[in-house]
C-alpha cells in the first residue's frame, strides 16, 4: 500500500479530539454522507480488495460516531477483522456484555501485538503502570480488560481522556492492519 493512499485513509480519522468511549456524537465529526463520498474516491484509486474496503468503511464510520451504520457493515463481515470492529462498536454503545461476546469471536488478533506496544509506550510516558498491568499483562493486549476499564470509567462518570487516547490507538492500529501496513 502506498503512503499516499494510506495518508488518505488516515486523514479520515483526523478529528480534533478522540472518539468518546460512549456513542457520542461529537460536534467535530463528519456526516456519514460526506465520509462515504470521501471513501468512495479513495477506494477507487486504492485497489484495495472489497473486504478491506468494507472493514475500513465500518471503522471510519464508527470513529465518526455513526454506530448504526458501522454495525450494519461489521455484523455482515464474518471474520476476526469484522468481529474486531463489531466488538468496538458494542463497547461504545455501551453494551459491554455484547462487546465481550464479540471479543471472544476475535480471539488473538494479529494487530494485538502492535496495539500492546503502542499502548505500553503511551502508558509508560504517562507513568500509568497500574493501568498498563491491567491492559497489557505479560506484554499482551487484553481487550476484555479494556472493556472493563471503559465500563468502570462510565460508572464513575469520569472524562476518561487517557482511555479515549487508547481507543484512538486501537482504531489507528486496526486501520493499518486493514490497509495491510506493517507496524509504524
Q: What is the dihedral of CA 165, 169, 172, 174, to 10 degrees?
A: -130
Per-residue pLDDT at 23: 93
Per-residue pLDDT at 159: 65
Per-residue pLDDT at 47: 85
- For residues 129 and 141, give the distance between their C-alpha atoms in angstroms, rounded to a whole number: 14
Q: Which helix (H) or strand (E) holds 178?
A: helix 161-179
- For residues 32 and 143, give the distance between their C-alpha atoms in angstroms, rounded to a whole number: 27
DSSP assignments along 95-139, one per residue: -HHHHHHHHHHH-S-TTHHHHHHHHHHHHHHTT-HHHHHHHSGGG
Q: What is the pTM of this model?
A: 0.94
Chunked mean pLDDT (size 10), the chain, 184 residues: 59 91 90 95 90 97 97 97 98 97 97 98 96 97 98 84 96 94 54
Per-residue pLDDT at 67: 97
Per-residue pLDDT at 181: 73
Per-residue pLDDT at 3: 53
Question: Would you say 126 and 164 are in contact if contact means Cβ atoms under 8 Å apart?
Answer: no
Per-residue pLDDT at 104: 98
Amino acid at each position: 500500500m502506498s503512503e499516499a493512499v494510506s495518508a488518505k485513509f488516515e486523514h479520515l480519522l483526523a478529528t480534533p479530539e478522540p472518539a468518546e468511549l460512549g456513542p457520542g456524537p461529537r460536534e467535530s465529526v463528519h456526516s456519514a454522507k460526506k465520509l462515504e463520498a470521501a471513501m468512495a474516491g479513495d477506494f477507487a484509486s486504492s485497489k484495495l480488495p472489497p473486504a478491506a474496503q468494507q472493514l475500513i468503511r465500518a471503522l471510519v464510520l464508527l470513529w465518526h460516531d455513526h454506530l448504526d451504520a458501522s454495525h450494519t457493515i461489521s455484523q455482515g463481515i464474518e471474520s476476526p477483522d469484522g468481529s474486531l470492529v463489531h466488538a468496538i462498536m458494542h463497547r461504545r454503545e455501551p453494551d459491554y456484555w455484547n462487546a465481550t461476546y464479540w471479543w471472544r469471536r476475535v480471539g488473538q488478533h494479529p494487530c494485538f501485538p502492535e496495539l500492546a506496544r503502542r499502548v505500553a509506550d503511551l502508558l509508560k510516558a504517562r507513568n500509568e503502570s497500574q493501568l498498563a498491568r491491567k491492559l497489557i499483562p505479560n506484554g499482551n493486549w487484553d481487550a476484555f480488560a479494556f472493556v472493563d476499564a471503559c465500563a468502570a470509567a462510565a460508572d464513575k462518570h469520569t472524562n476518561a481522556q487517557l482511555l479515549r487516547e487508547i481507543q484512538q490507538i486501537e482504531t489507528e492500529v486496526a486501520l493499518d492492519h486493514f490497509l495491510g501496513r506493517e507496524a509504524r
